[in-house]
Amino acid sequence: MPMKFDTPAGQNPIDQLKVVGRPTDRIDGKYKTTGTAPYAYERHDVAPNPAYGYVLGAGIAKGRVRAIHVEEARRAPGFLTVVTTLDTPRLERGKMNAAYLFGGDEIQHYHQAIAVVVAETFEQARAAAYLIKVDYAPEAGRFDLAAEAKVAQPVPGDSGEGSGGDGVERVGDFEAAFAQAPITLDQTYTTADESHAMMEPHATIAAWEGDRVTLWTSNQMIAWGHGSMAKILGIPKENVRLDSPYVGGGFGGKLFVRADAVLAALAARAAGRPVKVALTRPLIANNTTHRPATIQRVRIGATPDGRITAIAHESTSGNLPDGDPETAVNQTKLLYAGANRLTAMKLAHLDLPEGNAMRAPGEAPGLMVLEVAMDEMAEKLGLDPVEFRIRNDTQVDPNKPGRRFSHRDLVGCLRLGAERFGWAKRNPKPGQVRDGQWLVGHGMAAAFRNNLVVKSGARVRLGRDGVVTVETDMTDIGTGSYTIIAQTAAEMMGVPLERVVARLGDSRFPVSAGSGGQFGGNSSTAGVYAACVRLREAVAQRLGFNANDAQFVDGQVRSGNRTVPLAQAASDGELVAEDAIEFGKLSQEQQQSTFGAHFVEVGVDADTAEVRVRRMLAVCAAGRILNPKSARSQVIGGMTMGTGAALMEELAVDTKRGFFVNHDLAGYEVPVHADIPHQEVIFLDEADPMSSPMKAKGVGELGICGVGAAVANAVYNATGIRVRDYPITLDKLL
């Protein structure tokens, strides 16, 4: 029976904060920085004598494959085998996959995988693949969001009082309140398609032993991938193993299995030996997933003293027929007060590559827009934008009377941020401040992201040597999971961090929450907490202690006047305990969210319109911070990514041929060190007993939420030019 978390957390060993809450260096940090944490493609020890697979992507965006001519490729040096989509029946899709990954003759999007060529070396596989000739029967496709938005279909809402069949969620009477409001704003904004552009491309080594396959891969959600690969390959789950101990970034692009895993498995079966497949950088844009572009309309009505009386947010995005909308209206349901509300989404059919989750899906592009609209509205009201937000704070869910936030200190974030940033010194009139060639501007925005909790399990072992080993299929995608999991076990078992070993990312370990939706840190450590509670019980029993009053400190177990070394409990053999935490009604009864405030200073070159970010500050309220160093890294990573969304990141759509043109890191620009100044992050000191025994919340996505709008608002303050089509590239300012 998993440990059920359905009443607020009381005092527990985590509250000691001897190990948890410390800014500990990442324990995998030295491996990452010395190149000894191998990524999937570099795992030279796991499968001897691997062959290399090269994935060929479709050269059309929509239609059918008539024939694939492989004769010439077969004669190429080093050629071993080839598997084509025409040799393979259309395969099932895995969890969250909207596009089919392989099999059959239908092309749903450009660079869809149509063949994998296997050869002795990567170069030979690539050279052979280039000799393949493909006959296509192309069909007309829909590639232009602006055009297809006109015929987009409503998406049924999932919450709100007046959720009707028209896909519109209503509270009160928005139209009437907006019509009566003395001050109103009605603006439309657009956000671009964006690529995850993670450092490590998708990659997998596959090896079969009889009817069992092992996939050494790069994946955020091991249990999902495990089930998906069994389904796709049509074999029992027991015959599939996934292993993903180190991941070079995911950002949502590796929540699910992609063509590398599927084609490595098929190719290894065909070749009769292990095969490694990496999706080359150009395949990332069009073969995998991206954050969908949006068209968003925001309407706000307020009284002259700045109380919101009516707020509406509508968003249209596109996707393949089985894909989902970008849920850009999410935060508008919960961030500000206002009696009359309307949110709605529409989804257009597009034949572009699959849109899917990317860091803070929904909120990231949603706040990019809402928080610029709030800035525009504050200006209309003649109110300071910080004050406007404070005036419209709410401690209850505006959609559901009586439902409160478990803990909400947005106002605290706004006030502290304004003070530390020196907001009072800002000139509210745009285009006034000069520093040599630079027009200087200041902008701010609120940050908001929901705190999800997901069932998570772990196994802990106490060895004869007193070492505590944690095993869970939780992943560390560069976030610090190894470290906070080890900190949790050290705190619970009363041992120093050096006496804990964390082993992650293997489907043979207990199923965890995985890394997604900023739920991984809080949920997975809570699972480790649950397993450690069981191990403490086992230790107490072995030593003849009462589990309820035994204390675990300094490598010892104490009760009354008895003190025994912890290792003694394992002197007759290793002790093993396993448990999971399951989140009950608490997470439904109260609204759990994370909050923040971003403050940004930019300089805009008065002649060239080059934008330079000069200062950034984030204040975050996200429950207990398990490790301030790794949490800060998450937030500054989010701030960097949000700056990219505001200023440069855009997959350029060829609306005739239907693909993303800038499919590499030369054409798809992301911020580099030179683009980002010193970033300051402050965490409010809080603990949320409603979230888990850890009293922590998610922080991995909060940092990206709102920061792009703070940049855009600063650009407006610098120049007086309000750009509503993101990213704000130079041409839009000239």
CB of 589 to ligand MOS, least distance (A): 24
- Identity of residue 17: L
Are the beta carbons of 649 and 712 closer than 8 angstroms? no
Tell which residue, 189, 389, 186, has the closest CA to residue 301. Answer: 186
Strands of 13-112 (E only): list them: 51-57, 63-69, 79-84, 106-107
Beta bridge partners of 300: 185, 311
d(CA 362, CA 332): 10
Nearer Cβ to ligand MOS (167/638): 638
CB atoms within 10 A of CB 523: 30
d(CA 318, CA 292): 7
Nearer Cβ to ligand MOS (255/470): 255
Beta carbons within 8 Å of 328's beta carbon, 6+ residues apart: 191, 294, 296, 313, 315, 317, 345, 362, 363, 365, 366, 369
Beta carbons within 8 Å of 63's beta carbon, 6+ residues apart: 107, 136, 137, 138, 139
Nearer Cβ to ligand MOS (244/392): 244
CB of 520 to ligand MOS, least distance (A): 9
d(CA 583, CA 591): 14
DSSP for 128-149? HHTT-EEEEEE------HHHHG
DSSP for 488-522? HHHHHHT--GGGEEEEESBTTSPP---S-TTTHHH
Nearer Cβ to ligand MOS (255/312): 255
Nearer Cβ to ligand MOS (358/369): 358
- Identity of residue 235: I
3-state secondary structure of 530: helix
Are the beta carbons of 116 and 261 closer than 8 angstroms? no
DSSP for 591-633? B-EEEEEEEEEEEEETTT--EEEEEEEEEEE-BB-S-HHHHHH
Per the residue annotation, which of 354, 649, 680, 701 is the catalytic one? 701
Helices (H) and strands (E) in the chain, counts: 16, 31
Nearer Cβ to ligand MOS (410/705): 705
d(CA 620, CA 447): 8
E strand or H helix that includes residue 39: none
CB of 327 to ligand MOS, least distance (A): 11
CB of 253 to ligand MOS, least distance (A): 8
* Strands of 433-435's sheet in order across: 433-435, 438-450, 593-605, 611-621, 679-683
Beta carbons within 8 Å of 666's beta carbon, 6+ residues apart: none
**Closest-approach residue to ligand MOS (CB):** 252
Q: What is the CA radius of gyration of the chain?
A: 27
Nearer Cβ to ligand MOS (361/642): 361
Nearer Cβ to ligand MOS (356/399): 356
CB of 338 to ligand MOS, least distance (A): 28
CB of 516 to ligand MOS, least distance (A): 3
Tell which residue, 292, 227, 293, has the closest CA to residue 256. Answer: 227
209 is catalytic: no
CB of 262 to ligand MOS, least distance (A): 20
Q: What is the sign, positive or negative, of the torsion defined by CA atoms of 597, 603, 606, 607? A: negative
Cα dist from 656 to 60, 62, 103, 143, whole Å: 11, 11, 26, 7
Cα dist from 587 to 5, 6, 590, whole Å: 9, 8, 6
3-state secondary structure of 353: coil
CB of 227 to ligand MOS, least distance (A): 17
Are the beta carbons of 591 and 406 closer than 8 angstroms? yes
CB of 650 to ligand MOS, least distance (A): 18
Nearer Cβ to ligand MOS (168/357): 357
CB of 462 to ligand MOS, least distance (A): 33
From the number of C-beta atoms within 10 Å of its C-beta (0-12, 13-18, 19+), residue 465 rates as exposed
Nearer Cβ to ligand MOS (102/224): 224
Nearer Cβ to ligand MOS (250/596): 250
CB of 191 to ligand MOS, least distance (A): 15
CB of 309 to ligand MOS, least distance (A): 34
CB of 449 to ligand MOS, least distance (A): 11
3-state secondary structure of 81: strand
Nearer Cβ to ligand MOS (359/461): 359
From the number of C-beta atoms within 10 Å of its C-beta (0-12, 13-18, 19+), residue 629 rates as middle
Q: Using CB under 6 A as the criterion, which residues of the chain lie in contact with ligand MOS when the complex forms? A: 220, 250-252, 255, 357-359, 361, 516-517
Nearer Cβ to ligand MOS (255/283): 255
Beta bridge partners of 218: none
Q: Tokens standing for 60?
A: 């059309």
Establish how many alpha carbons lie within 13 A of residue 140's alpha carbon, considering only the half-sphere containing its beta carbon.
1
Active site amino acids: 701
